[in-house]
């Protein structure tokens, strides 16, 4: 069953195929434990949270939109389960340096931002050089179209066209990342 993609497995689980659910568990259980362990640094707690998350997934499988990214949905369930556990048991999430902002506030926003930054970096590395260069000049260097044209030695309309194509390529990579 390992040749079947996640989307097909979710459809099978919705139809009552428990073996398809077991395949999803086999694919994601260890990854989820490692993901939660990175926050808790507690093997037992990570395993408990993941088991609870996988149970919630099975119980609410009909809410899963198989056309959307299944993995992202599952990781979100696990993260929410962890946060619920910490709130319910009045526990304190160990603040791991890479997850903390300047003053430790807005932890969850910092985590989401770091996840997004990783996805953007990965997508940037996968698009054509000419697209990556123009996106970096526009978004990171905040250069005007005119200045980009001067630096790259191309007309203004070419800059506009290339930037539009680069944004589309980047968006396409990011959409594929979600699947």
Do the Cβ atoms of 114 and 99 come closer than 8 Å? yes
pLDDT at 161: 92
Low-confidence ranges of the chain (pLDDT < 70): 1-2, 90-114, 177-179
Do the Cβ atoms of 170 and 127 come closer than 8 Å? yes
pLDDT at 12: 92
Q: How far is CA 148 from CA 36, 139, 141, 143, 169, in A?
A: 43, 11, 10, 6, 19
- 114's tokens: 């770091």
Q: Is the pTM of this model over 0.85?
A: no
| 73: number of Cβ within 10 Å | 17
CA-to-CA distance for 107 and 41, rounded, in angstroms? Answer: 17
pLDDT at 106: 47
Could you read off the pLDDT of 142-156 as tens digits, one per residue? 778 888 888 788 899
Q: How far is CA 155 from CA 117, 131, 147, 151, 158, in A?
A: 31, 16, 10, 11, 5
CA-to-CA distance for 22 and 29, rounded, in angstroms? Answer: 10
- 28's tokens: 């994601």
pLDDT at 94: 53
């Amino acid at each position: 069953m390992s040749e079947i993609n996640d989307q097909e497995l979710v459809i099978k689980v919705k139809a009552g195929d428990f073996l398809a659910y077991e395949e999803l568990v086999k694919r994601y259980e260890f990854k989820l434990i490692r993901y939660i362990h990175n926050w808790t640094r507690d093997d037992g707690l990570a395993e408990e949270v993941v088991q609870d998350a996988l149970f919630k997934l099975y119980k609410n499988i009909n809410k899963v939109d198989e056309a959307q990214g299944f993995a992202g949905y599952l990781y979100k369930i696990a993260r929410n389960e962890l946060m619920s556990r910490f709130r319910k048991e009045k526990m304190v999430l160990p603040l791991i340096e890479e997850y903390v902002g300047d003053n430790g506030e807005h932890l969850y926003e910092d985590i989401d931002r770091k996840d997004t930054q990783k996805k953007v970096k990965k997508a940037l590395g996968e698009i054509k050089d000419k697209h990556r260069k123009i996106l970096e000049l526009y978004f990171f260097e905040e250069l005007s179209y005119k200045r980009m044209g001067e630096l790259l030695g191309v007309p203004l309309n070419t800059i506009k066209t290339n930037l539009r194509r680069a944004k589309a390529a980047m968006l396409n990579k990011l959409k594929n990342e979600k699947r």
